[in-house]
């Protein structure tokens, strides 16, 4: 059994900058962390690996600063780690990202499962898993809580507003996972020792035999026209200072507004 | 830490991983486990998934093949987050050492790979109601019947009782021979006639499980005997010699945490218009706490490295590491409460938990009084 886990590096909250021209996130300069939603994909891959002795391959599209996250994937369960990296990929929207991932996944065939997080913590579109499946021409099931194999079929359990739903599919399929599993394993110490001597494979656009015109910003139909901070009409105030001083100020305000008797 | 120790890359990775597990799986819950006296298997599962039950298991049986020093580093930093969790963890080593040190090839192949993976938790059972410090007074018997041994008796205050899959039990095969008639056995969870008593209510270490083990015509195959008949106390004493450093390491972790929490408080707590740390009575107490902690750490680390270097006679050394470090930690935790005043006494803050937890370290794995007997005995052997 072969499982491919696709992970993403997302900017650490509060370290992210937005490109003023393209309005895309500047990933190459940000401090990257593993997309928190992808932890479910890695945990599920580790569980399936234990249960079915599966081979796990972790892939990620991104700049070289994603490599530590692929190493993290190795330390949890991946047997092989592959970085999909090329200047031509920069500025990719979900369609182009899915195109690159699908091409890499095709090269890794035969496979049984592609696991991804439900969505990314930066873009939050949740489009990449089903888009990748569509390009590969295989089914996808999203927001899955548990996975098993029975008689050559994948059994996926997911929670809906109507209750638990059990779906059955013929592999290979793409699955995005429910973010809150009951348990996430830490890295394995043995694997942390091994990873010191392992470098990820790096696949470029050329390696993937992809036409550069269909990649990056130019290949992406999505145009972000603007990025702005949502302003609320009734703005809350934040007071800073010494507790005694702030308490006095609050009492005065409450008196002023008539909530406290003077 | 005012004294820095050069650690290897592997040792640094180990400490980092333990701290990561501590921050995520222990720190947010430790006070709640203590309050509710509940055992949570999640941190144990995390330690198992991280391969950390394999530290002392030789590589050929799927372990990491590391030494007592690395075991101490892991136990120290786990204890920094919760001494109850580290007790569950370290007690499992107490049950694993007899198989590593005295198991035959078949026993090692059968048990060690699962122990290394953390699939099987261990316990070590020597103490009985009438045999505490006077370990030779045990009454549990193991009668040979054909290809089986039949065990009868009660073991008391056994860490991981009922949750351990593998239990090392010391029992008398020949009561007439006294201590020389004792033997060590591997009893598995589910063996007929074997059960655990009720969970004890303790002063501290509340997130660990302590119970009696009850043997009522408990029938086990004869190949569960460790080493030979009559070697029971040899197995037990050698195991304790190795594991004692671990109790010292627990003391380091708890004392480090107590020092940090109380120091942070003393530097922020304003009385008479300034942080209380500015008062010499307070700052000198911290100076004393740090000196005692660093002296303990130096001794525990040195003894662990002494054992790893292949020392043969180290009963006295490991007894010193255990006794000194745990006594100092008790003093440090008591002072930590004093330095925090009323806050230290409140159960909203962790220092009172450290104080209750650390008390047990002076008692278990041989009381500190027994450690002094061992030290004095070894000392008189050297200076005849």
A218 DSSP 8-state letter? H
Q: What is the pLDDT of residue B6?
A: 95
Question: Which of these, B97, B173, B185, lies nearest to B141 by C-alpha position?
Answer: B173
Please indicate whether, in this complex, the C-beta atoms of B51 and A185 are within 8 angstroms of each other. Answer: no
Nearest CA in chain A to B21: A186
Question: Which of these, B88, B18, B83, B35, lies nearest to B256 by C-alpha position?
Answer: B83
CA distance B218 to B150: 5
Please indicate whether, in this complex, the C-beta atoms of A186 and B50 are within 8 angstroms of each other. Answer: yes
Nearest to B14 among A188, A189, A196 (CB): A189
Nearest CA in chain A to B47: A186
Sort out which chain B residues have CB atoms less than 8 A from A51's CB and list them: none
pLDDT at B111 over 90: yes
Of B70, B76, B128, B365, which is the active-site residue?
B365
pLDDT by residue (tens digit) across A14-31? 777 788 887 777 777 778
pLDDT by residue (tens digit) across A172-212? 999 999 989 999 999 999 999 999 999 999 999 999 999 88
Please indicate whether, in this complex, the C-beta atoms of A192 and B13 are within 8 angstroms of each other. Answer: yes
Sort out which chain A residues have CB atoms less than 8 A from B42's CB and list them: 183
pLDDT class for B118, splitting at 50, 70, 90? very high
Interchain contact A243–B (C-beta under 8 A): no
Interchain contact B25–A (C-beta under 8 A): yes
Nearest to B21 among A186, A190, A193 (CB): A186
Q: Percent of chain B beyond pLDDT 90?
A: 99
CA distance B26 to B257: 14
Lowest-pLDDT choice from A211-215, B120-124, B130-134: A211-215
Please indicate whether, in this complex, the C-beta atoms of A192 and B17 are within 8 angstroms of each other. Answer: yes
CA distance B325 to B375: 14
Nearest to A188 among B14, B42, B51 (CB): B51
Q: What is the pLDDT of residue B367?
A: 97
Determine which of B16, B49, B61 to mutate to test the interface with A (most A C-beta atoms within 10 Å): B49
Interchain contact A51–B (C-beta under 8 A): no
Q: Percent of chain B beyond pLDDT 70?
A: 100
Mean pLDDT, rounded, of chain A = 92
Q: What is the pLDDT of residue A212?
A: 85
pLDDT by residue (tens digit) across A169-179? 999 999 999 98
Please indicate whether, in this complex, the C-beta atoms of A187 and B50 are within 8 angstroms of each other. Answer: yes
Nearest CA in chain B to A185: B46
Please indicate whether, in this complex, the C-beta atoms of A196 and B14 are within 8 angstroms of each other. Answer: no
CA distance B145 to B201: 37
**CA separation, residue B257 to residues B282, B290, B344, B348 (Å):** 18, 12, 13, 15
pLDDT class for A122, splitting at 50, 70, 90? confident
pLDDT class for B37, splitting at 50, 70, 90? very high
Sort out which chain B residues have CB atoms less than 8 A from A183's CB and list them: 42, 45
Q: What is the pLDDT of residue B318?
A: 97
Question: What mean pLDDT comes out for the span B314-328?
Answer: 98
pLDDT class for A39, splitting at 50, 70, 90? very high
Q: What is the pLDDT of residue A223?
A: 84
Please indicate whether, in this complex, the C-beta atoms of B42 and A183 are within 8 angstroms of each other. Answer: yes
Provide the pairing of β-strand B194-199 with B210-221. antiparallel
Q: What is the pLDDT of residue A217?
A: 85
Please indicate whether, in this complex, the C-beta atoms of B50 and A193 are within 8 angstroms of each other. Answer: no
Interchain contact A187–B (C-beta under 8 A): yes
CB pairs under 8 A between A and B: 37
Determine which of A34, A75, A186 to mutate to test the interface with B (most B C-beta atoms within 10 Å): A186
Nearest CA in chain A to B16: A189
Q: Decide if A8 contacts A120 (C-beta within 8 A).
A: yes
pLDDT by residue (tens digit) across B265-317? 999 999 999 999 999 999 999 999 999 999 999 999 999 999 999 999 999 99
Tokens of A148: 């098993």
Interchain contact A242–B (C-beta under 8 A): no
Give the distance from residue B312's alpha carbon to the nearest chain A alpha carbon, in angstroms.
29
**Orientation angle between helical segments B232-268 and B280-308, nearest 10 degrees:** 150
Nearest to A185 among B13, B49, B64 (CB): B49
What are A37's strand-pairing partners?
none
Lowest-pLDDT choice from A216-220, B241-245, B282-286: A216-220
pLDDT class for A233, splitting at 50, 70, 90? confident
Nearest CA in chain B to A193: B10
Q: What is the pLDDT of residue A128?
A: 94
Nearest CA in chain A to B62: A190
Instruction: Map out the domains of chain B with their CATH numbers.
Output: 9-121 (1.10.540.10), 123-232 (2.40.110.10), 233-382 (1.20.140.10)
**CA separation, residue A225 to residues A19, A113, B307 (Å):** 12, 36, 67
Instruction: Map out the domains of chain A with their CATH numbers.
Output: 2-219 (3.40.50.620)
pLDDT at A75 over 90: yes
Residue B76: active-site member: no
Residue with the larger pLDDT of the pair A12 and B382: B382
Q: What is the pLDDT of residue B161?
A: 97
Give the distance from residue A22's alpha carbon to the nearest chain B alpha carbon, in angstroms.
38
CA distance A237 to A168: 52
Question: What mean pLDDT comes out for the span A68-82?
Answer: 97
Q: What is the pLDDT of residue B286?
A: 98
CA distance A49 to A71: 18
Q: What is the ipTM of this complex?
A: 0.92
pLDDT by residue (tens digit) across A99-115? 999 999 999 999 999 99
| Sign of the C-alpha dihedral computed for residues B56, B57, B63 and B67 taken in this order | positive
A91 DSSP 8-state letter? T
Mean pLDDT, rounded, of chain B = 97
Helix (H) or strand (E) holding A157: strand A153-160
Give the distance from residue A170's alpha carbon to the nearest chain B alpha carbon, in angstroms.
31
Q: What is the pLDDT of residue B382?
A: 94
Q: What is the pLDDT of residue A15?
A: 78
Contacts of A127 (CB under 8 A, 6+ apart): A94, A98
**CA separation, residue B154 to residues A36, B215, B331 (Å):** 49, 6, 34
pLDDT by residue (tens digit) across B132-158? 999 999 999 999 999 999 999 999 999
Q: Percent of chain A beyond pLDDT 70?
A: 100
Determine which of B21, B26, B50, B62 to mutate to test the interface with A (most A C-beta atoms within 10 Å): B50
The CA-based angle A17-A22-A27, given to 5 degrees, is 40
CA distance B314 to B238: 10
Sort out which chain A residues have CB atoms less than 8 A from B45's CB and list them: 183, 185
Determine which of B48, B51, B58, B270 to mutate to test the interface with A (most A C-beta atoms within 10 Å): B51
Q: Decide if B49 contacts A186 (C-beta within 8 A).
A: yes
Task: Report the predicted TM-score, pTM, of the whole model to 2 decimal places.
Answer: 0.90
Nearest to B46 among A186, A193, A196 (CB): A186
């Amino acid at each position: 059994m072969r499982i491919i886990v696709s992970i993403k590096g997302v900017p650490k909250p509060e370290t992210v900058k937005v490109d003023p021209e393209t309005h895309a996130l500047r990933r190459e300069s940000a401090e990257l962390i593993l997309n928190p939603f992808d932890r479910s994909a890695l945990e599920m891959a580790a569980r399936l690996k234990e249960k079915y002795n599966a081979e796990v391959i972790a892939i990620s599209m991104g700049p070289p600063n994603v490599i530590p996250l692929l190493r993290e994937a190795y330390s949890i369960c991946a047997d092989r780690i592959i970085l999909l990296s090329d200047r031509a990929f920069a500025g990719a929207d979900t369609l182009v990202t899915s195109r690159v991932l699908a091409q890499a996944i095709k090269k890794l065939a035969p496979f049984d499962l592609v696991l991804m997080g439900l969505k990314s913590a930066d873009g939050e579109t949740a489009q990449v898993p089903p888009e990748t499946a569509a390009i590969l021409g295989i089914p996808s099931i999203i927001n899955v809580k548990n996975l098993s194999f029975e008689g050559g079929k994948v059994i996926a359990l997911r929670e809906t507003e109507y209750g638990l739903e059990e779906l059955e599919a013929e592999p290979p399929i793409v699955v995005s996972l429910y973010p809150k599993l009951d348990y996430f394993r830490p890295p394995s110490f043995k694997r942390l020792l091994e990873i010191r001597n392992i470098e990820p494979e790096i696949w470029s656009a050329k390696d993937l035999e992809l036409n550069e015109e269909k990649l990056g910003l130019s290949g992406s139909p999505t145009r972000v026209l603007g990025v702005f901070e949502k302003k609320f009409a009734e703005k809350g105030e934040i007071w800073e200072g010494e507790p005694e001083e702030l308490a006095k100020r609050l009492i005065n305000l409450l008196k002023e507004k008539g909530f406290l008797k003077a | 830490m005012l004294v820095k120790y050069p650690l290897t890359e592997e040792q640094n990775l180990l400490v980092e991983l333990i701290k990561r597990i501590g921050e995520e799986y222990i720190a947010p819950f430790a006070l709640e486990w203590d309050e509710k006296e509940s055992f949570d298997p999640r941190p144990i599962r995390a330690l198992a998934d991280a391969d950390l039950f394999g530290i002392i298991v030789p590589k050929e049986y799927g372990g990491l093949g590391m030494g007592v020093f690395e075991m101490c580093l892991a136990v120290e930093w786990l204890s920094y987050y919760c001494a109850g969790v580290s007790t569950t963890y370290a007690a499992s080593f107490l049950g694993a050492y007899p198989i590593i040190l005295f198991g035959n090839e078949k026993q090692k192949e059968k048990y060690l790979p699962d122990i290394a993976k953390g699939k099987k938790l261990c316990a070590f059972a020597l103490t009985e109601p009438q045999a505490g410090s006077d370990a030779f007074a045990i009454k549990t018997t193991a009668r040979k019947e054909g290809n089986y041994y039949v065990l009868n008796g009660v073991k008391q205050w056994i860490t991981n009782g009922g949750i351990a899959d593998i239990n090392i039990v010391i029992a008398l095969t020949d009561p007439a021979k006294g201590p020389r008639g004792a033997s060590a056995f591997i009893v598995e969870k589910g063996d007929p006639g074997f059960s655990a008593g009720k969970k004890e209510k303790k002063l501290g270490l509340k997130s660990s499980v302590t119970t009696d083990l009850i043997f009522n015509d408990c029938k086990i195959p004869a190949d569960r005997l460790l080493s030979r008949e009559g070697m029971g106390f040899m197995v037990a004493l050698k195991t304790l010699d190795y594991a004692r450093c671990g109790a010292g390491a627990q003391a380091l972790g708890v004392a480090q945490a107590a020092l940090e929490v109380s120091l942070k408080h003393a530097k922020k707590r304003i009385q008479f218009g300034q942080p209380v740390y500015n008062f010499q009575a307070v700052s000198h107490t911290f100076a004393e706490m740090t000196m005692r902690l660093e002296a303990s750490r130096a001794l525990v680390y040195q003894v662990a490295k002494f054992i790893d270097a292949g020392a043969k006679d180290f009963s006295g050394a490991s007894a010193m590491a255990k006794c000194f470090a745990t006594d100092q930690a008790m003093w440090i935790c008591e002072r930590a409460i004093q330095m925090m005043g009323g806050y230290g006494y409140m159960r909203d803050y962790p220092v009172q938990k450290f104080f209750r937890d650390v008390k047990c370290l002076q008692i278990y794995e041989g009381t500190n009084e027994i450690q002094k007997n061992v030290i004095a005995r070894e000392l008189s052997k050297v200076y005849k």
